[in-house]
Amino acid sequence: MGFIDHFLVALKFSADPVNLFACFVGVFVGTLVGVLPGLGPMATMTLLLPITYKLPTAQSIIMLAGIYYGAQYGGSTTSILMNIPGEASSVITCIDGYQMAKKGRAGAALGMSAIGSFVGGTFAVFLMTFLAPLLSEVAITFGPPENASLMVLGIILVIYLSSGSMTRALMMAALGLLLGTIGSDLLTGSIRFSLGLQGLSDGVGLVPVAMGLFGISEVLLNVETSFTKREFFKSKLADLFPNRQEFVESVGPIARGCLFFFLGILPGGGAILSSIFSYGLEKKLSRTPEKFGTGYIKGVAGPETANNAAAMGAYVPLLTLGIPGNAVMGILMGAFLIHGVIPGPLLLTTSPDIFWGVIGSMYVGNVMLLILNLPLIGIWVKLLEVPYRFLFPLILLICLIGSYTVSNSVFDIYVMITFGIVGYFMKKFDYPAAPLILALILGPMLERRLGQSIKMSDGSFMIFFSHPVSAALLIIGAILLISPLVLAVVRKRRIGLLAEGADDS
């Protein structure tokens, strides 16, 4: 069968009314999950897993799959409007999206986010239909050394692209990695660095930390400003969607963001790294890199396209190899097994209705999400017109609910408040939060891959350089770290030579 035949088969299965309804429920719930920070697709899918016992297999998988990629759409909403990442992959969107909202361009940011998400998601499903078996073979060649080096490069790239002092960004990334080591040792199982606190035995929760650094700190900064002096964000009806210039500027980032579908196939890659690399690529290619971080539409279009494309890519190793690339795919694999279906190479022949039903639902689901999200832009933007004395209690409530519901722990609320205060001082003294958050996310995965790599090589670190792909990734990371120092020395020497020339004259 060729691509057209595969495409038609997928649409045929997705056109079934029951499958359509399951898809709608999934993407609708996923959007709500993305908008409400802290709940997350994994927690939601886990809560809904018992419900799927009574549902047919195809509809269960379609609904759960829709929750995951629907959450990628909704995760950008609070990132743009409140500077609170709804999903971990939306952290990068906070950088320019929130600044656009402060300039009265929240509607444009939300509209471009929805459009980029639709294009990236749809493009990724097309590739899945045609290239899934081939791409799985490429992904499986990435072993622990390559994955570890990829994560190191991701952290270095965030440090390199942070606005302001690179030294401060490096310090924040190091702090994030240290926070990631709190809790159970991955190799021995012993508890470490918990300070005797039971709440830290499972580690520092990502959601409370992100809520504190991005949400609570922003509330503290805004409350500090006098209400009489504060300017409320205003958006006219004409500003609810991107203008022609913003559309033109976003074409390139959206097109390049689609290509990060390939990164989603790799275990440990996915939507988080894709949004980081997309933002970095756009900043490097831009003729005006200084605009990034000030409310630039390219800083929203590229990462939002990339994280949705990569989210779709995560399904490839699960459906074709039976290998879950992340925790969410692990939940989805559990749903397969509950219904007596084993995902992997034989899925296409033993259960074609499930395989093509899931693929086809993704085509339809992306259209549903675009239709759902674009009309809601005006409603979301209206939130910005609410006086902040009424808005900040709502933000605090969202943060409290989000932190508590992850593990039903009051301790997580204390963690959130602590990092809210830390984040307040970080913003006052210009320390970036993104490197800390992303290092905290990638730290445990990096530690696991490092441990596996060292075991493979009997304790030798040379394994990272004996594998060509791993070595190339580490060399690129080293160049990114060293290049600012080299450029600073060259610039200083050039200024000195010019000064000497002026004295001689």
The tens-digit pLDDT sequence of the chain (505 residues) is 555 776 777 777 777 888 889 889 988 888 877 776 655 676 677 667 767 777 888 888 888 888 888 887 777 887 888 777 767 677 788 888 888 888 888 888 888 988 888 998 889 888 888 776 666 566 567 788 887 888 888 788 778 766 667 888 889 889 988 988 888 876 677 788 888 788 888 888 877 887 788 778 877 877 776 444 444 455 554 456 788 888 888 999 999 999 888 877 765 556 777 888 888 888 888 888 888 888 889 999 999 999 888 888 888 877 877 766 666 777 787 778 778 887 876 777 777 778 888 888 888 888 888 888 777 777 766 665 667 677 678 778 877 877 787 677 888 889 889 998 998 998 888 888 878 877 887 788 788 888 888 888 888 888 899 888 889 989 988 888 888 888 778 888 887 777 766 666 6
Tell whether the torsion through CA atoms of 39, 40, 43 and 45 is positive or negative: positive
For 463, the token pair is 């394994």
**Can you tell me which residue has the tokens 């600044």?**
99
CA–CA dist 353, 16 (Å, integer): 11
| Distance from C-alpha of 173 to C-alpha of 436, rounded to nearest angstrom | 5
Task: Give the Cα separation of 127 and 112 in Å (integer).
Answer: 22
**Does the global pTM surpass 0.75?**
no
Q: Which helix (H) or strand (E) holds 192?
A: strand 191-192
Position 499 in a domain: no
Q: Are 85 and 214 in contact (CB under 8 A)?
A: yes
- Residue 367 falls within a domain, yes or no? yes
In a domain? residue 18: yes
**DSSP SS3 for 268:** coil
Residue 189: CB partners within 8 Å, gap ≥ 6?
none
Determine the Cα–Cα distance for residues 201 and 357; give it in Å rounded to an integer.
Answer: 41
State how many domains the chain has: 1
Within a domain: residue 480?
Answer: no
Q: Is residue 224 part of a domain?
A: yes
Q: What count of Cα atoms within 13 Å lies in the side-chain half-sphere of residue 128?
A: 32
CA-wise closest residue to 364 among 113, 25, 106: 25
Pairing of strands 191-192, 183-184: antiparallel
Tell me which residue has tokens 């090589």: 457
The alpha-helical segments, DSSP class H, found in 193-326 are 206-210, 217-224, 244-258, 261-264, 270-285, 298-313, 315-321
pLDDT digits 0-9 by tens, 2-59: 557 767 777 777 778 888 898 899 888 888 777 766 556 766 776 677 677 778 888 8
Handedness of CA 240, 124, 436, 477 (dihedral sign): negative
Q: Nearest-CA neighbor of 179 among 424, 439, 406? A: 439
Question: Residue 191 belongs to what domain range?
Answer: 3-466
Please give the structure tokens belonging to residue 5.
Answer: 């035949």
Q: Which of 37, 71, 76 is nearest to 210 (CA)?
A: 37
In-domain check, residue 494? no
Residue 391 maps to a domain:
yes
Angle at CA 313, nearest 5°, toward 312 and 317? 120
Long-range contacts of 469-472 (CB under 8 A, 24+ apart): 469/142, 469/146, 469/149, 470/145, 470/146, 470/148, 470/149, 471/149
Residue 446 within a domain? yes
